[in-house]
Every structure is written in structure tokens, then in C-alpha cells.
Amino acid sequence: MFGLIGLSGSLSIYREEIDSLLNPELVIAPTQGPVLSLDKILTQIRKAHPNRHGAWTLELPRSEQGTITAWFEKPRESVDKFYAPLMVAVNPYTGEVVGSRFWGQTLGTWLLDMHTHLQLENSGRNLVAILAVLLSISVASGLYLWWPGRARLTQAFKIRQDAGLMRFLMDLHRLLGLLSALFLLLLAFTGFHLAYPKLLESLTASAGMGHGDEGPNIRSTAIPNDRPVGIAEAVLIARGLFPSSEVRRITTPTGDLGTYRINLRQRQELNQHHPFTTVWVDRWSGQIRGVNNPSQFSAGQTFTTWQWPLHTGEAFGANSRPIWFIMGLMPLTLWLSGVCHWLSRKGLIRDRPLDLITPLRSTSRLLWQRGFYYANQAGRVLYPLLLAALGSLAAWWADVKNRPR
């Protein structure tokens, strides 16, 4: 189970790249013209889905090749499912709807569901939380069994390749377990609280700050009129408070009491995809009805909002994704090496000599021979060309020197 959750988590780190690879129509070639206004984008979305009444959330692309993703949280086709919103991909330059899919029907979202609740809905989420606790116990017990004491500390890091395959696998098991222990404990801790966000919110007095929470339900207090505020105007009002921020999401109002919810990202925020800077704008008067500013959060609120970016690795930037990908593979690697060692102790598989030096020597010798061969062949072709070029250069220089001044 640890290996399955870790593998699905590693692949989920690159779920957007996987989705773009399997669906090339989602990769937009930037045009010379400007992007359409968000009001026109929403009009095109409603034309494509005229019978879906309610709030739409527009998630803006993070690159020039990305599409705008419009989320409709409770479509009638999947209203009974655990979580399956409609995802509409829109070309930001033309307004064309290039794809309409439900969460869970794409490989990337299916993998994320496998990682978060094992495709078992709420019971699966509870099981994942239990597994996070068990993973912490497993890592802690592994560190205890590895702990060598001062006298044998230098020996504890050795990988012996001359003592047989099983000894090599066990040394590798111990070293990989040691190097990944802190990462796995961090992933287990944050994963548990992502499964049970209300627990951490109650402990840190940070209600509504968990991942996926929309914040307070703020309503309009203005009198409805015949000139409601548009999306572009609402975004302009919200950015007035945070002029250097990046607009990430806009949720449209529902009914006469609805408000715009504008999600922005300030530079110091760890959250890349789901920042917590939020401004609620009245749809009738354009007045600001509420503000969430992470720079004014308490320590408990800040700690709560850090769980998602720490778990996914986005808190450390895009360059950390390969590290988190490898750490997600560690439970499967440790399980395989541990099972092999256990089978060997039970006599079900035999140990065998392991020689890594000879293959390396053979490979280096082959590379040297091939390199010398191809260099020789290239020299045979390039040498006459080089002589011809030098001869032409000498003739040109002699001609230049002999010209009358």
C-alpha cells in the first residue's frame, strides 16, 4: 500500500505534463494577438454549456501555451460521486472550448484520486490517513534498527558489492531508507493532515485555511441593479489591494447575493496552484466585502496553509519536483529490497555473487573502443576536407599578397 500511494503520488507531480502529452489539443500555440477578456471567455463557456447554471471558477494558465480551465463543481452527471467536477479547457486567445472532461476520467486526475483516497471515496481517505500514521511508524522503526552507535557509524554507510546480491540489496535498503527518512516523515505528516484538514484547523485555530477550503461565505449587501460588475472590473478592483500579485482563479457569483471570489498569489506565498490571497468583490456595487491576506495570518494559520505545498514540493519551486518524484518511489523501492531480503532468509530465493566492477570495466572498454573507431572514421573523412580548405586558404592569401597596391 505504501508503494502504491507513493508511486501514484510521484506520477501526480507531473499530471499536467502527462495530460498535455496525452491530449495535445490542450497545448495552445500563442498568437500575435492579445488574450480575450475573461468576460468574453465566460460567455463562450456558457454558450458551450447553456444548461449549467451556477458558479464557474476560471483558473488562469501559468504559461503562454496553457489553456484556461473552467471548473463547474457539481455537474448533474456526477452529482453523486465523491469528487468529480466538470473541467472545461478554453483557448485564451480565441475563446474556443477545446475540451470538456470530468475529474477522474483523465489519467492525471485518476492517479491523484488513487493517491488521495485509493478510488474508495471517503473510506479510502480514512485508510490513507491510517497508512500515513503507519508509514511514520515504519520509518521510525527502520531508523531505530539502522542506528549503529558511534563505534560502527562509519561502517553503516558502506555499500558492499563484493558480499553477494542480498548483502548489496540490504545495504542499499538501509542507505536509501536513511537518506529518505526525513522526506517520508514530512510526506506522512502533511498527507495525514490533508486527509483530515479539520483536525489541524481546530488545533491551530485556523478554520477555513485547509487545502480546498473556499474561505468564509461572504454575501452581497448591495441592491441589485441593471449594471452588474463584470469579471475584468472585479479583477481590477481586487488587484488594487495587491498590485504586484498574480491572478490565479476567479469564481463568479451565484444569485443576487453572490460575490466574486478573486484568488491572487503574492510573491512570498508557498502555494503555487492554490494561493490564499483572496478578495471578495460585490457583484452589484463593486465594493470589497472581504479580504484574506496571508502576510497577516497567525502562525497557526500559516502552518495550516503550508501543508499542501510541503506535501507536493511546490514550496521549494519547480526544481524540487524531481526530488519529490524520487522520494515518492522510495516506499516501493524499500518494499522490494526488503521483500527480497525476507525471501532470502526464508530460503525461497538464493543469494548469488554480485560483481559490478567487471561490467563497468567492460562498458568503459567498449566505449573507448567505439569512440576510437568513430574518431578514426571521422578523421578519414575530415582530413582531406581540412587539407583542401587549407590549400584554398593558402592560395587566397598568396593571391592577396601578389595583388598590385
Q: What is the pLDDT of residues 68-122, one digit of tens each?
A: 999 999 999 988 888 999 999 999 999 999 999 999 999 999 999 999 999 998 8
C-alpha 52/C-alpha 40 separation (Å) is 17
What is the percent of the chain with per-residue pLDDT over 70, rounded to a whole number? 87
Per-residue pLDDT at 151: 58
Ordered strands of the 259-265 beta sheet? 97-102, 86-90, 68-72, 57-59, 246-251, 259-265, 277-282, 288-292
pLDDT-derived band at 377 (thresholds 50, 70, 90) equals low
C-alpha 189/C-alpha 314 separation (Å) is 16
pLDDT surpasses 70 at 404: no
C-alpha 211/C-alpha 197 separation (Å) is 7
Per-residue pLDDT at 373: 65
Per-residue pLDDT at 360: 57
Among 11, 324, 35, CA closest to 182: 324
C-alpha 305/C-alpha 273 separation (Å) is 12
Range 262-290 average pLDDT: 93
pLDDT surpasses 60 at 405: no
C-alpha 269/C-alpha 263 separation (Å) is 12
- Extended beta strands in 214-256, E state: 246-251
Q: What is the pLDDT of residues 33-43, one digit of tens each?
A: 788 999 999 99
At 316 the three-state DSSP class reads helix
Of residues 268 and 212, more confidence is placed in 268
Q: What is the mean pLDDT of the chain?
A: 87
